[in-house]
């Protein structure tokens, strides 16, 4: 398993942060992993949105994929929808927002569960990448939100 997690305090209310993340085209400005967005549409079952995009993985273009993004309260859950890539790995991620006296404590995590025989190769590479990419993403979001750029 390859896992990356980071936490940061952002001087904005949780709702502002959730709204910003759910505006995926806007959030892409702080998260280069999103790559090219092809479409965003409401899920047919009414549970979140379906994001079709070509992610940037390890700084390189990844295969076109679809993920379900669901916001409930102060949490966002992200998961892959069934696809050919499931033979190699599955993906889940989340954001949580917790109001504190200092601001909103935002935790972001990504999990790539690689399967044998590729796990031995990809887990170490992705762990190194995520250790840097996830904290950078949150630092970018903090800077963007606190500067009020999401309001333009």
Domain boundaries, the chain: 2-32+78-151
Residue 69 dihedral angles phi and psi, to the nearest 5°? -120, 120
Note the pLDDT tens digit of each residue in 58-88.
989 989 999 999 999 999 999 999 998 889 9
Residue 59 dihedral angles phi and psi, to the nearest 5°? 80, 0
Joined together, the tokens standing for residue 113 give 């569960």
Q: Is 128 a residue whose pLDDT tops 80?
A: yes
Note the pLDDT tens digit of each residue in 32-65.
999 999 999 999 998 999 999 999 999 899 899 9
Instruction: Return d(Cα 33, Cα 56) in angstroms, integer.
Output: 5
Q: What average pLDDT does the segment 108-128 reach?
A: 96
Topology given in CATH for the domain delimited by 2-32+78-151:
Alpha-D-Glucose-1,6-Bisphosphate; Chain A, domain 4 (3.30.530)
Q: Is 149 a residue whose pLDDT tops 90?
A: no
Instruction: Return d(Cα 31, Cα 39) in angstroms, integer.
Output: 17
């Amino acid at each position: 398993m390859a896992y990356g997690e980071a936490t940061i305090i952002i001087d904005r209310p949780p709702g502002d942060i959730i709204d910003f993340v759910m505006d995926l085209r806007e959030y892409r400005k702080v998260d280069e992993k999103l790559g090219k967005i092809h479409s965003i549409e409401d899920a047919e079952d009414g549970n979140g949105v379906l994001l079709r995009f070509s992610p940037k993985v390890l700084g390189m273009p990844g295969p076109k994929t679809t993920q379900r993004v669901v916001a409930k309260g102060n949490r966002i859950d992200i998961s892959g929808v069934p696809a050919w890539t499931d033979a190699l790995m599955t993906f889940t991620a989340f954001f949580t927002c917790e109001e504190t006296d200092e601001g909103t404590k935002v935790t972001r995590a990504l999990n790539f569960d690689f399967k044998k025989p590729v796990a031995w190769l990809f887990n170490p590479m992705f762990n190194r990448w995520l250790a840097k990419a996830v904290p950078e993403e949150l630092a970018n979001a903090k800077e963007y939100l606190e500067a009020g750029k999401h309001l333009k």
